[in-house]
Amino acid sequence: MKLVVVGQPFSGKSTIFREVIGYRAETASSIGAPIELPQGEVEIDGERATVVDVPGLYSLQLGDQDDPRPVEQLLAAVRDATIIDVVDATVLSRSLEFTLQLLELRRPMVVALNMVDDASRKGIEIDADRLARALGVPVVATNGKTGDGVAQLFATALAQRKSPGAERLLTRGAAWFDGAVDAIGARLVAADPALQPERHLLAIKLLERDPLVRERLRSVLGADGWAQIEDQIAALEAQGGQRSELAVSAVRHNLAFVLFEQVARVGRTPRRDLKRELDRIFMHPVLGYLMLALILAGAFALVFLVGRAIEPAILALFDRTSELAAAALGRDTVSNAVAHGILAGIGGGMVIAVPYLLPFFLILSLLEDSGYIARIAYLLDGLLHRIGLHGTSVIPLVLGYGCTVPGILATRILNSRRDKLITATLTSLIPCSARMTIIFGLVGFFISLPAAIGVYAIDLVVVIATGKVLSAAMPEVNPGLLMELPRYHLPQLKALAHKTWFRLREFVIIAWPLLIAGSVVLELINHWQLTPHINAGFAFFTRGVLGLPPAVGITLLFGLLRKELALVLLFGALGTSDVGSVLSSVQIFTFVVFVTFYVPCLATIAALARELGWRTAAAISVVTFGIAVAIAVGVRLVGALPC
Amino acid sequence: MKLDLNKGPRLNLLGCRPGDWVRIVSIDAGAGAALNLSRLGLSPGDQVQVLRRSPLAGPIVVRLGESEIAIGRGLAERVLVERAPA
């Protein structure tokens, strides 16, 4: 028994899921699913059911430029399940368009009419029984925040499981559309009788030019059959003067509106509205930017202060543990090298995760859950436009200042592959907290604080220039930002903790194991004294190109594993922690700039490969390496000028 | 003199001021853009109110029923509209 909770973004879907499952939800990594879905067990009237939460989606209709994975994921999740469709009652008409698409899937289904109280406050009264009769599936009024109606919702869903779903609701009232769906459906069944049960859905999807269904049916139909279908769709378009995918969405749009008119009564809207009052400040042309600057500066300052306060304690703890291990295992043994590597890896991960990532992600979740992040996207859209992106890219880019891995994974929220590609490339160029420790630890400490801030400035220039070049190379297909501005919410502590943990988990799962493995390899290299050979091999590059002592070769190699390893290792490689006595200021600056840009760390490459494929990940690595060499050589040359 | 509304420059969302009520006439961009707008409930025939315009060449915010949607300039320019009564 499986219940799948679906709905549009901001419908309150996850709140309902959490109301039932709580925060003990397990995430199941089903094979082929790109993103793990939260799920949990619930007992309803003595019967156990698995409840799955699918990320919010506005539509199941896919365009050519869209990432098909979220839709595929939803379709896979509901295949053998009962659908719980959570609808935001305040935006019923639009939400019903999605509900109609779900009905086309002909799965057992229940509609949760959520936030009815909010709707009623805004003067919208909805007749749930009437809506149920019109849709042909049960409708339960709920309030996710108080939990009202949620038990009844799940009991109804359980009772629904044998129901075959609704009749062909979509086609009611549009005769030309009915005709086309029937004709294409008949052709499909003639080609393969096994398609009989899904013929209507498939016909609609063909009219939508759904890339997934087209791919699937092209081989089933054969060249002739396929050409006939294409002709039929073309004829329909000629007749209607409109692309068929838009015609389908127009049919749904109209039907949803008619349904809305039938079941809802709209009275007068109250004049006072918290959202509008807050937006008057946060989205104000001047005040808005002032607030943004204050909030971001406050967030970074807080992260930096918390990090600096906690970091030494964690490092001390691991130093002590390493001493104990060395005492127990003997100093010059392989097992001590391995143990020391593991401890250093765990410690290194802790030093990033606890002092920097944890507060950073907590603040970011706060901005996200309160609804403020959408306002940041609004405010910065114009600026991001100049580097070929739009406001939505703000989230991955800002996350990138914490850790590049969650930043890259957050590019999922972007629609087009082009935007993902550019944003991911720029995110990997943004100095993460590991790089921050290098910038402040070397340039900040041995040169000056303004010089450290200078590295950030250079970085910003590089990010902007790279964005300009990439967007010029890939002219925009999709003309920009399109985003719903959600209501403001008082964030719930539990939800915040949960979201923070989820982001942190991405670091723990993807990055941490690599840190530990890298540390072990490094310790073994040290143990077997392979370092001089490695350094000699890279001397042409380190000395020849960058003008640095060959001893830094090993640090750059291991900086690939974890950027801040470059800093830790530098002390060992140079034989002193007083870097300023061995390297000139220009050399320190060159080293730091190179480390900041050259090839994302291994965990980032893994994240890039996961989101964009291995080839793209390799391409981004090569590009960033090129940028690093160019900037580092530039710094070296400028440094060599007589002052 | 007779005015032909179909002639002369058409009004698009970018040309509207905060407070204006308009009806979407057509979306003069590819099917992908029209589809993206329709996902958020914006289709030809719909009546929306322009709420605000961002400085720095940023987006336009419109209200459709109870939802507020930010539309980037490039796209807003391609949403052709006509004035509608409030």
pLDDT per residue as tens digits for the range A567-611:
877 887 787 778 888 899 999 999 999 999 998 888 899 889 988
Say what the ipTM of the complex is. 0.90
Euclidean distance between CA atoms A107 and A110, whole angstroms: 10
Contact yes or no for B36 and A482 at CB 8 A: yes
Task: Domain A2-160: give its CATH architecture.
Answer: 3-Layer(aba) Sandwich (3.40)
Q: Provide, as residue numbers in chain B, all residues whose Cβ is less than 8 Å from the Cβ of A483.
A: 59, 69-70
Measured between CA atoms, how close is A463 to chain B, in angstroms? 19
**Residue A40: pLDDT over 70:** yes
Whether the CB of B36 is below 8 Å from some CB of chain A: the reply is: yes
Q: What is the model's pLDDT at position B11?
A: 92
Residue A129 tokens read as 């029984």
Nearest-by-Cβ selection for A94 from B41, B56, B74: B41
Euclidean distance between CA atoms A608 and A621, whole angstroms: 10
Contact yes or no for B75 and A483 at CB 8 A: no
Contact yes or no for A58 and B40 at CB 8 A: yes
Measured between CA atoms, how close is B4 to chain A, in angstroms? 23
Contact yes or no for B32 and A478 at CB 8 A: yes
- At CB < 8 A and 24+ separation, what contacts does A329-337 make? A332/A527, A334/A524, A334/A527, A337/A520, A337/A523, A337/A524, A337/A526, A337/A527
Measured between CA atoms, how close is A314 to chain B, in angstroms? 44
pLDDT per residue as tens digits for the range A505-528:
877 887 788 778 888 888 888 889
Q: What is the model's pLDDT at position A608?
A: 92
State the burial class of residue A359 (Cβ atoms within 10 Å of its Cβ: 0-12, 13-18, 19+).
buried
Nearest-by-Cβ selection for B34 from A246, A275, A483: A246
Dihedral sign, Cα of residue A583, residue A587, residue A592, residue A594: negative
**Residue A172: pLDDT over 60:** no
pLDDT band with cut points at 50, 70 and 90 for residue A267: confident
Q: Name the average pLDDT for chain A.
A: 87
Contact yes or no for B58 and A63 at CB 8 A: no
Contact yes or no for A385 and B73 at CB 8 A: yes
pLDDT band with cut points at 50, 70 and 90 for residue A447: very high
Measured between CA atoms, how close is A557 to chain B, in angstroms? 42
Q: What is the model's pLDDT at position A630?
A: 96
pLDDT band with cut points at 50, 70 and 90 for residue A560: confident
Nearest-by-Cβ selection for B56 from A61, A246, A382: A382
Closest residue on chain A to B28 (Cα): A479
For residues A303 and A383, the model is more confident at A383
Q: What is the model's pLDDT at position B4?
A: 53
**Residue B2: pLDDT over 60:** no
Euclidean distance between CA atoms A97 and A113, whole angstroms: 14
Task: Judge contact between A162 and A110, C-beta under 8 A.
Answer: no
Query: Taking Cα atoms as reference points, which of B71, B86, B54 lies closest to residue B13?
Result: B71
Nearest-by-Cβ selection for B57 from A94, A285, A385: A385
Q: What is the model's pLDDT at position A25?
A: 57
Euclidean distance between CA atoms A463 and B2, whole angstroms: 55
pLDDT per residue as tens digits for the range A317-367:
888 888 888 888 877 788 888 888 888 888 878 877 888 778 888 888 898
**Residue A28: pLDDT over 70:** no
Nearest-by-Cβ selection for B58 from A59, A90, A381: A381
Place of tokens 């029937």: A182
Residues in contact with A286: Cβ distance below 8 Å, sequence separation at least 6, in sequence order: none
Whether the CB of B39 is below 8 Å from some CB of chain A: the reply is: yes
For chain A, give every domain's residue range. Answer: 2-160, 175-266, 287-323+333-479+493-640
Residues A141-169 have a mean pLDDT of: 83
Residues in contact with A245: Cβ distance below 8 Å, sequence separation at least 6, in sequence order: A61, A63, A207, A208, A209, B31, B35
Contact yes or no for B59 and A64 at CB 8 A: no
- Mention the CATH class of domain A175-266: mainly alpha
Contact yes or no for B64 and A94 at CB 8 A: yes
Enter the CATH code of domain B11-83: 2.30.30.90
Measured between CA atoms, how close is A391 to chain B, in angstroms? 9
**For chain A, percent of residues with pLDDT exceeding 90:** 40
pLDDT band with cut points at 50, 70 and 90 for residue A128: very high
Cβ contacts from A onto B, under 8 A? 134
**Residue B5: pLDDT over 60:** no
**Residue A34: pLDDT over 50:** no
**Residue A627: pLDDT over 90:** yes
Residue A379 CB: number of other CB atoms within 10 A? Answer: 24
Contact yes or no for B54 and A283 at CB 8 A: yes
Helices A92-104 & A199-207 angle (0-180, nearest 10): 130
Q: Provide, as residue numbers in chain B, all residues whose Cβ is less than 8 Å from the Cβ of A415.
A: 36
Closest residue on chain A to B51 (Cα): A276
Q: Which residues in B1-86 belong to E strands, given as ranges?
A: 11-12, 21-27, 47-53, 60-64, 67-71, 79-83
Strands A82-88 and A2-7, sheet pairing: parallel
Q: Provide, as residue numbers in chain B, all residues whose Cβ is less than 8 Å from the Cβ of A373.
A: none
Contact yes or no for A246 and B61 at CB 8 A: no
Q: Minimum mean pLDDT among A238-247, A557-566, A632-641: which range? A: A557-566
Q: What is the model's pLDDT at position B9?
A: 60
Whether the CB of B49 is below 8 Å from some CB of chain A: the reply is: no
Contact yes or no for A97 and B65 at CB 8 A: no
Whether the CB of B15 is below 8 Å from some CB of chain A: the reply is: no
Task: Judge contact between A369 and A490, C-beta under 8 A.
Answer: no
**Residue A36: pLDDT over 90:** no
Q: Which residues pair with A3 in a beta bridge?
A: A51, A82
Euclidean distance between CA atoms A504 and A352, whole angstroms: 10
pLDDT per residue as tens digits for the range B21-68:
999 999 988 888 899 899 999 999 999 999 998 878 889 999 998 899
pLDDT per residue as tens digits for the range A455-479:
999 999 999 999 999 999 988 765 6
Q: What is the model's pLDDT at position A164?
A: 67
What 3-state class would DSSP assign to A112? strand
Query: Taking Cα atoms as reference points, which of B38, B21, B65 lies closest to residue A93?
Result: B65
Closest residue on chain B to A390 (Cα): B72
Euclidean distance between CA atoms A381 and A292, whole angstroms: 13
pLDDT per residue as tens digits for the range A224-245:
889 989 998 998 888 888 889 9
Nearest-by-Cβ selection for B61 from A63, A285, A485: A485
Whether the CB of B26 is below 8 Å from some CB of chain A: the reply is: no
Measured between CA atoms, how close is B1 to chain A, in angstroms? 32
pLDDT per residue as tens digits for the range A386-442:
888 888 898 889 888 888 888 898 888 787 888 899 999 999 999 988 898 889 889
Q: Provide, as residue numbers in chain B, all residues whose Cβ is less than 8 Å from the Cβ of A250.
A: 38, 43-44
**For chain A, percent of residues with pLDDT exceeding 70:** 95
Nearest-by-Cβ selection for A65 from B29, B32, B66: B32
